Amino acid sequence: MAVESSPQDVDGTLRVMSFNIRYGTANDGMNRWRQRKQLVAKAIQRFQPDLLGTQETLNFQADYLRAQLSEYTYYGVGREKNDAGEQCGMFFRADRFEVLGKGTFWLSSQPEDPGSKSWDSSLPRIASWLHLRDKQQAGKKLLELVFVNTHFDHRGVKARLEAARLIRRYLENLGREIRVVVTGDFNCDEGSAPYRALIGENPAGEFALYDTFRVAYPERQSGEGTFGGWTGQRSSGRIDWILHNTHFQTRSASIDIWKQDGRYPSDHFPIRAVLVGK
């Protein structure tokens, strides 16, 4: 299968994708999971990311994608107390990375309490993380990275803001030396309070996150939305983001509006970025 690549791709780049695949038990008629699961796999294979964060991922969806994406290793934890429910699934290329650590915390006032929710959140929400060693960068100073994948609440305004603050604190506590990549469905647009809480330097100038799409396209334009609702008509809000810290530069970023035979893989468009380490 042909791989979509950027003319700027060179050795040492990192291909990142974030993809809300729409939970597989939804009553979506002709767009239900069994009718589109091959499209989801193909959308991923077209880009061949090194790191992939998925949202709304149920166990049977993860199993299907693991079978189709055999070159990847998967990590996911259910957001409910008994490890059931949707996962913020994480795929990484097995030949490139080894796992140094992994975990999940809940976007609540008790982040270590499985199934917990706080503020005005309608459902338990999580952030999963992987601490990876990049074997391609062996011998270089910045050969480790932390990859975080999340899905913010779709109703709770305060919950989204507090979730952003919680993830920001987590990232800041990692220290200044490690590379950071964040993917997710944030259920809010650029310029919102959660966006501002995540992106930007702290008062001491010690930590910053960068929005890959806005770095690649500094001028905001119409038609940047990442939710299509199966129709291909792009929403006004760009609610799915790929972020990185100062140890990366954005080479390219895009919203993938690919379809096949008039059908889209999901109600969200996958988003993609190519990064290079500094």
Q: What is the pLDDT of residue 115?
A: 98
Q: Which band of pLDDT confidence, cut at 50, 70 and 90, is reported for residue 144?
A: very high
Q: Is the pLDDT confidence value at 142 over 70?
A: no
Q: What is the pLDDT of residue 165?
A: 97
Q: What is the pLDDT of residue 173?
A: 94
Least confident window among 3-7, 113-117, 155-159, 181-185 = 3-7
Q: What is the pLDDT of residue 103?
A: 98
Please give the structure tokens belonging to residue 165.
């603050």
Q: What is the pLDDT of residue 234?
A: 83
Q: What is the 3-state secondary structure (H, E, C) of the chain?
A: CCCCCCCCCCCCEEEEEEEECCCCCCCCHHHCHHHHHHHHHHHHHHHCCCEEEEECECHHHHHHHHHHCCCEEEECCECCCCCCCCECCEEEECCCEEEEEEEEEECCCCCCCCCCCCCCCCCCCEEEEEEEEEHHHCCCCCCEEEEEEEECCCCCHHHHHHHHHHHHHHHHCCCCCCEEEEEEECCCCCCCHHHHHHCCCCCCCCCCCEEHHHHHCCCCCCCCCCECCCCCCCCCCCCEEEEECCCEEEEEEEECCCCECCECCCCECCEEEEEEEC
Mean pLDDT, rounded, of the chain = 92
Instruction: Name the β-bridge partners of 171.
Output: none
Q: Is the pLDDT confidence value at 10 over 70?
A: no
Q: How far apart are the first and last CA of the chain?
A: 31
Q: What is the pLDDT of residue 143?
A: 84
Q: Is the pLDDT confidence value at 6 over 50?
A: no
Q: Is the pLDDT confidence value at 43 over 80?
A: yes
Q: Give the separation between CA 19 and CA 256, rounded to whole angstroms.
A: 10
Q: Is the pLDDT confidence value at 50 over 50?
A: yes
What is the tens place of the pLDDT at every residue in 80-125?
999 999 999 999 999 999 999 999 999 999 999 999 999 999 999 9
What the chain holds in terms of domains, given with CATH numbers, is: 13-277 (3.60.10.10)
- What does the buried/exposed string (b/e) look like for 150-165 if buried means 16 or more CB atoms within 10 Å of the residue's CB? bbbbeebeebbbbbbe
31 touches 94 (CB < 8 A): no
Question: Which whole number is the average pLDDT over 151-166?
Answer: 98
Q: Give the separation between CA 22 and CA 153, rounded to whole angstroms.
A: 14
What is the tens place of the pLDDT at every residue in 165-219?
999 999 999 988 899 999 999 999 999 999 999 997 665 567 899 999 999 999 9
